[in-house]
Amino acid sequence: MRSEFCHSRALTVTPIGAEIFSIGPARAEGQHDLAKASQNPFHAWPLFSFAVAKCLSLVALTSILAPIILASMSASTAVAQDKKGGGDLSTQATNPAAALIQLQLQDQFIPSTQNASGVANTAIIQPVYPFVLDKDYYFNSVITRTTIPIVTTADLPSLGRTTGLGDTTILAVPVHKTPIGDKGGFFQWGPIAATTIPSATNDETGSGKLSLGPGLLGFRNFTKVFNDGDSLLVGGFGYQQWSVAGEGSRQDVSKFYAAPVVVYHFDTLFGEKGWYAGLPDDLWTYDFEESEFTSIPLGARLGKVFKIGKQPANAFLQSWYNAADSGVDYTIKFIFTFSFPEIMRWSHNVGQLGGEVKVYSVV
């Protein structure tokens, strides 16, 4: 249920998107809670959140540099296609559960926000690192996805425009993958462990809460859909989070996130391979504290997997309308991703000590 007060709203970033949260009438009027330092261990020392954010930024920087350095050291540049296990890089690059090292650079632009003036923007660094397990284990890999946002809010009443780090979300997903047929079809599923760390440097760019929760994902890849070389990835994932610690004066967190995934890969489009289209890469969000949806993204994306020299990359542009009455109506999002299949082969080889190695190719 909505509060009887008129709350200002600001951005908080989720693993594949952004949502709106209330910062409360007191902060909307520019008042400050002088007791928050004694109530919240994350804000008892002003430098704590900043230190956490710096540590997470260091992790992200390591995730950025390590694959690049290892790639330059790799002697082999041969890339073979894994036909049987769904190893086509075009499919892997758009599959949230793929065992593929990636570095995603995202920018999310919001033209207007209710009860505020001007535009809002969120830049996101999202390293994805899979841990490949023994092929005899039921869960073949564990996928980790870390979302580190830099948020710029709209011009909020009595607060103005704010730019700072947002909350950091980490997803860890053990994945079981079963090949289906001999042309790249497969089924995947796995449980999700979701953690959101209150690393925001401003009240307006984060929830002020440490949140935890479980979830589930599942995907099915179909080949030969309409044309011989086309494929279709369908499925989705969802998870629930509850706040377990944080600033006592801030609203508790109890939210459910879900993302339907539908991506159609074209054998050729515009005379080239690697093109795909699908549903937007953003989360549906239901806030149990407010008893309402805060995000229902309705739209589409168009993208392409390609190479810059020998470096595989993926880029897409999407736009969506938010059917939830939460303060944001339209969003435009651009994502550019570097993929590192050669490093995936190297890490698999080290982990398996000479076991079978699958290397993915760009179409």
Residue 283: pLDDT over 90: yes
DSSP assignment of 168-223: EEEEEEEEEEEEETTTTEEEEEEEEEEEEE---SSGGGS-SEEEEEEEEEEEEEEE
Cα radius of gyration rounded to whole Å, the chain: 21
Q: Which residues of 258-268 are buried (b: 16+ CB within 10 A; e: fewer)?
A: ebebebbbbbe
What is the average pLDDT across 181-189? 85
Given pLDDT bands bounded at 50, 70 and 90, which one contains residue 59? very low
What is the average pLDDT across 316-323? 95
Given pLDDT bands bounded at 50, 70 and 90, which one contains residue 300? very high
- Of 15-24, 125-134, 211-220, minimum mean pLDDT range: 15-24
Given pLDDT bands bounded at 50, 70 and 90, which one contains residue 71? very low
Contact 8, 156 (CB under 8 A): yes
β-pair type (17-22, 9-14): antiparallel
Given pLDDT bands bounded at 50, 70 and 90, which one contains residue 173? very high
For all residues of the chain together, what is the average pLDDT? 77
**Which fold does the domain 9-352 belong to in CATH?**
Lipocalin (2.40.128)
C-alpha to C-alpha distance for 348 and 99, rounded to whole angstroms:
10
What is the percentage of the chain residues whose pLDDT exceeds 70?
Answer: 70
User: How high is the pLDDT of residue 143?
Assistant: 96
User: How high is the pLDDT of residue 115?
Assistant: 76
Residue 254: pLDDT over 90: yes
The residue ranges of every structural domain in the chain are: 9-352
> Model-level pTM?
0.75
- Of 106-115, 218-227, 347-356, minimum mean pLDDT range: 347-356
240-253 confidence digits (pLDDT tens): 999 999 998 999 99
Given pLDDT bands bounded at 50, 70 and 90, which one contains residue 26? very low
Given pLDDT bands bounded at 50, 70 and 90, which one contains residue 135? confident
Max mean pLDDT range (36-40, 76-80, 223-227) = 223-227
For 131, 179, 190, 242, the CA distances from 86, given in Å and listed in that order, are 18, 7, 17, 35
The SS3 assignment for 133 reads: coil
User: How high is the pLDDT of residue 296?
Assistant: 94
